[in-house]
């Protein structure tokens, strides 16, 4: 499943193809200079059929003329020449190539597509290719700087591996990350990923003992199964993947016959992938730096509960606002902790979380140290964020031991600044001495803290649920759901209006009446639903009006009769199940009825799900409070709803070969202890 990137990052010999002082924008000379700066960690050969010597070295006309086969070709030649040149290399022992050139079908042009196919054929024969249209790769443990600019020479070595599908952002982000204190192991601009892709690079980084965190900028996932397997491997190894992904505003393939297809955008499903595999999705490139720094430096906490200690009332208020926005769990301090820290605060202030210890505390480092250590040792605190600004000068009197002392407590400790600052060498040295990450900006800090707690929770749940083939099931969705404990309301099918009245008489009034027609998928849109009908005459009249409305809306529509059901009172929810073309089966849940698309208050997970997944989905809904006691309404049977979600997921996995999707809308949740009723179940056969 994973292709080796060993020869890209750890080649034993390298050829610069297209070696020239002036060609390719000066990139060949820049890469040679980087290798020269590193002391030529491997033998480097130059290839150019129009030169004999360059940079005091012999230049060879082709791979065949080299004194030995090389592992990696750094290919800086026009796109038209790449395939033929690399074919010569493959025939002469070449193992891998880094292709910088563009115009391999990125814009859909026919000639570029043909070039891409030629290159792909070489890959099928065993050549491993990074790119085309990439900006290089870096292997700092080996001093391999395969990047066409001197700026990468100053990048520090460390535990962050980097995979960027955006070449233009790649080196800039690395430079800014280094300013903030990040150190790097391996980094690659993956380009078009005609061969090697993000899954291959992640798998390599998971296996690398030096890499602790994997930072990615993603534009698309070319091999979803391989990507998920790599993410599962990273989660099992405890190596967080932190990622920025473009395309959040793009909507998925709308399926007008299905609520589930209409509301499930590409980004919703990718978020479900992140939830399943513990991928930390970042708000932007700045967040990617802060989050990578935090995971590279801070200890993984035992839970998500956060304490905030500082000496600014304004910062405390902003923290509460941002924490509320992202749903950050705020820890409750114990009586013992409050008793310990109360005498150390400015006069008139009370111990609380978040803590404003008063402006005077900023000048009392010993008191602040004691306060933070007490909070870090509180058994109810999993993560402590301490206010702190990195010094700009080496003669600053701030003491890094204030932070290091707290970090030796039970909680995972980070520091935060209220706003971003320019970080100097003195600041980075202070951060290293403190042994904690100094996060920049309160919004970024709060999002990073939430991510740290969420990742710890996901790691604590253990292995990812298996996604093997499910046992095929026979029967309709309604039959299978009912057999598994998710019943429909009492009632029955009627062939015509008269039979509908008879069924209504048999089950008792009031009843709900729904028209049955393949042209009335969304029954409310064609006036195909009537509720609270109190007698047979009302049923007859409602049935006739439905048929008339359906004929007006869909002339010639097929009428398969009516569904007559007892009325049930409760909270209407929605459960949909469907296959995503990339990532496979998923479940979506939210408020039901007509609110599905109108409110967009939905939660997504990949299938299969566990009970913890179902409860997290419900907890994440803005309307989730309606499941509890609300304005005189009784609490709903949340446990039954969770069981129904698990059952529906299992049923869909057993019938997905026959049904494109299944929807239960509404799935009415009755009062606590009374269960649920699948009021309307719709299944879409696969075409």
Sequence-separated (6 or more) residues with CB below 8 Å from residue 316 = 308, 310, 354, 355, 356
CATH of the domain at 507: 3.30.1490.20
**Which of 297, 331, 346 is where one domain is finished?**
297
Q: DSSP label at 360? A: G
Number of domains in the chain: 5
pLDDT at 551: 86
Same domain, 105 and 22: yes
Angle, CA of 454, 248 and 605, to the nearest 5°? 45
pLDDT at 265: 59
32: how many CB neighbours lie within 10 A of its CB?
22
Beta strand pairing status for 383-387 and 306-310? parallel
**Which of 297, 312, 337 is where one domain is finished?**
297
Same domain, 415 and 367: yes
Task: Pinpoint the alpha helices (H) of 554-667.
Answer: 595-599, 611-620, 638-655
Two structure tokens written together for 594: 């007509």
Two structure tokens written together for 171: 């080196």
Q: Are residues 374 and 357 in contact, defined by beta-carbon separation less than 8 angstroms?
A: no
Two structure tokens written together for 260: 């589930």
CATH of the domain at 595: 3.30.470.20
594: how many CB neighbours lie within 10 A of its CB?
14
Q: Are residues 287 and 174 in contact, defined by beta-carbon separation less than 8 angstroms?
A: no
* Structural domain of 497: 490-566
Specify if 680 maps to a domain.
yes
pLDDT at 599: 72
Specify if 218 maps to a domain.
yes
Give the relative orientation of helices 110-124 and 79-91 as an angle to the nearest 10 degrees. 10
154: how many CB neighbours lie within 10 A of its CB?
8
Backbone angles phi, psi at 63, to 5 degrees: -65, -35
DSSP H or E segment with residue 164: strand 157-164
CATH of the domain at 439: 3.40.50.261
Specify if 150 maps to a domain.
no
Same domain, 287 and 303: no
Same domain, 313 and 455: yes
CA distance 164 to 171: 9
Same domain, 653 and 556: no
pLDDT at 469: 66
Specify if 584 maps to a domain.
yes
Sequence-separated (6 or more) residues with CB below 8 Å from residue 606 = 269, 272, 273, 275, 276, 467, 583, 584, 585, 586
CA distance 526 to 515: 9
Same domain, 382 and 505: no
DSSP H or E segment with residue 604: strand 602-606
For residue 426, what are the CA distances in angstroms to 176, 417, 436, 606? 16, 16, 15, 46
**Which of 566, 598, 631 is where one domain is finished?**
566
Same domain, 511 and 635: no
536 in helix, strand or coil? Answer: helix
Task: Pinpoint the alpha helices (H) of 465-602.
Answer: 477-483, 497-507, 536-553, 595-599
Specify if 649 maps to a domain.
yes
Same domain, 165 and 280: yes
Count CA within 13 A, CB hemisphere, residue 229. Answer: 13
CA distance 433 to 431: 5
With the C-alpha atoms ordered 200, 201, 203, 209, is the resulting torsion angle positive or negative? positive
Specify if 143 maps to a domain.
no
SS3 content of the chain, % helix, strand, coil (to 5): 40, 20, 40
CA distance 411 to 408: 8
Residue 205 burial (10 A CB sphere; 0-12, 13-18, 19+): buried
- In DSSP notation, 362-391 reads GG-HHHHHHHHHHHHT-TT-SEEEEE----
Specify if 473 maps to a domain.
no
CATH of the domain at 63: 3.40.50.720
Residue found under tokens 């099992």: 236
Backbone angles phi, psi at 281, to 5 degrees: -90, 125
Q: What's the full length of the chain, in residues?
A: 687
Specify if 147 maps to a domain.
no
Q: DSSP label at 334? A: P
CA distance 79 to 111: 10
Backbone angles phi, psi at 203, to 5 degrees: -60, -40
Two structure tokens written together for 189: 């601009």
Same domain, 452 and 307: yes
The string over 478-516, giving b where at least 16 C-beta atoms fall within 10 Å of a residue's C-beta and e elsewhere, is bebbeebebebbebbebeebebbbebbeeeeeebbbbbb
Same domain, 404 and 345: yes
- Chunked into runs of 10 residues, the chain (687 residues) has average pLDDT values of 97 97 86 96 96 95 97 96 96 97 85 94 97 96 96 97 94 96 98 96 98 96 96 97 81 43 71 96 96 96 96 92 94 97 95 94 94 97 96 87 95 94 93 96 96 95 76 91 92 92 92 88 82 93 92 88 90 94 94 74 94 95 89 90 96 94 94 94 89
Task: Pinpoint the alpha helices (H) of 523-632.
Answer: 536-553, 595-599, 611-620
Same domain, 72 and 211: no
Same domain, 366 and 386: yes
């Amino acid at each position: 499943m994973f292709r080796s990137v060993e020869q890209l990052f750890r080649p034993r010999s390298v050829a610069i193809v297209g070696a020239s002082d002036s060609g390719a924008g000066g990139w060949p000379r820049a890469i040679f200079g980087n290798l020269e700066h590193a002391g030529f960690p491997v033998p480097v050969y130059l290839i150019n059929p129009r030169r004999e010597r360059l940079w005091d070295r012999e230049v060879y006309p082709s791979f065949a003329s080299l004194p030995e086969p090389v592992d990696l070709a750094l290919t800086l030649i026009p796109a038209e020449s790449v395939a033929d040149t690399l074919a010569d290399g493959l025939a002469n022992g070449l193992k891998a190539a880094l292709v910088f050139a563009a115009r391999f079908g990125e814009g859909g042009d026919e000639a570029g597509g043909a070039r891409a196919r030629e290159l792909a054929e070489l890959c099928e024969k065993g050549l491993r290719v990074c790119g085309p249209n990439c900006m290089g790769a870096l292997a700092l443990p080996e001093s391999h700087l395969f990047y066409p600019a001197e700026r990468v020479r100053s990048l520090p070595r460390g535990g962050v591996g980097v995979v960027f599908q955006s070449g233009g952002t790649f080196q800039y982000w690395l430079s800014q990350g280094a300013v903030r204190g990040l150190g790097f192991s391996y980094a690659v601009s993956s380009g078009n990923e005609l061969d090697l892709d993000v899954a291959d690079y992640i798998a390599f980084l998971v296996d690398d003992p030096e890499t602790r965190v994997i930072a990615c900028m993603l534009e698309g996932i070319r091999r979803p199964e391989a990507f998920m397997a790599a993410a599962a491997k990273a989660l099992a190894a405890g190596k967080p993947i932190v990622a920025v992904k473009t395309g959040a505003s793009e909507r998925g393939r709308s399926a007008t016959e299905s609520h589930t297809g209409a509301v499930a955008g590409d980004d919703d499903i990718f978020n479900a992938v992140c939830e399943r595999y513990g991928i930390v999705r970042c708000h932007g490139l700045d967040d990617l730096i802060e989050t990578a720094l935090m995971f590279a430096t801070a200890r993984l906490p035992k839970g998500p509960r956060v304490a905030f200690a500082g000496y600014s009332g304004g910062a405390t208020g902003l923290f509460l606002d941002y924490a509320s926005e992202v749903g950050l769990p705020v820890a409750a301090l114990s009586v013992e902790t409050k008793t310990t820290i109360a005498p150390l605060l400015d006069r008139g202030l009370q111990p609380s979380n978040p803590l404003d210890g008063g402006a005077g505390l900023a000048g009392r480092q010993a008191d602040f140290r004691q306060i933070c250590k007490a909070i870090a040792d509180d058994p109810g605190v999993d993560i402590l964020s301490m206010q702190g600004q990195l010094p700009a000068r080496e003669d600053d009197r701030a003491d890094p031991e204030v932070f290091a002392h707290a970090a030796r407590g039970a909680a995972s400790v980070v520091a935060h600044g209220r706003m971003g600052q320019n970080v100097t060498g003195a600041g980075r040295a202070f951060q290293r001495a403190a042994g904690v990450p100094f996060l920049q900006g309160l919004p970024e800090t709060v999002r990073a803290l939430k991510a740290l707690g969420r990742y710890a929770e996901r790691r604590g749940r253990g292995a990812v649920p298996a996604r093997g083939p499910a046992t095929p099931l026979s029967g309709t969705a309604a039959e299978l759901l009912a057999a598994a404990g998710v019943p429909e309301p009492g009632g029955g099918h009627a062939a015509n209006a008269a039979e509908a009245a008879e069924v209504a008489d048999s089950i008792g009034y009031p009843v709900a009446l729904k028209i049955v027609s393949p042209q009335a998928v969304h029954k409310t849109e064609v006036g195909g639903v009537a509720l609270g009908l109190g007698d047979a005459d009302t049923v007859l009249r409602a049935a006739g009006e439905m048929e008339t409305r359906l004929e007006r809306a869909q002339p010639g529509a097929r009428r398969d009769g009516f569904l007559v059901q007892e009325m049930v009172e409760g909270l209407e929810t929605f459960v949909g199940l469907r296959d995503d073309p990339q990532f496979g089966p998923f479940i979506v849940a939210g408020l039901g009825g007509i609110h599905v698309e109108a409110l967009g208050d939905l939660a997504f997970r990949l299938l299969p799900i566990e009970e913890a997944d179902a409860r997290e989905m419900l907890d994440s809904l803005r309307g989730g409070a309606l499941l509890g006691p609300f304005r005189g309404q009784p609490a709903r049977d949340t446990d039954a709803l969770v069981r129904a979600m698990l059952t529906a997921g299992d049923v869909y996995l057993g019938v997905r070969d026959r049904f494109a999707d299944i929807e239960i809308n509404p799935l009415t949740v009755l009062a606590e202890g009374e269960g649920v009723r699948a009021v309307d179940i719709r299944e879409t056969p696969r075409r």
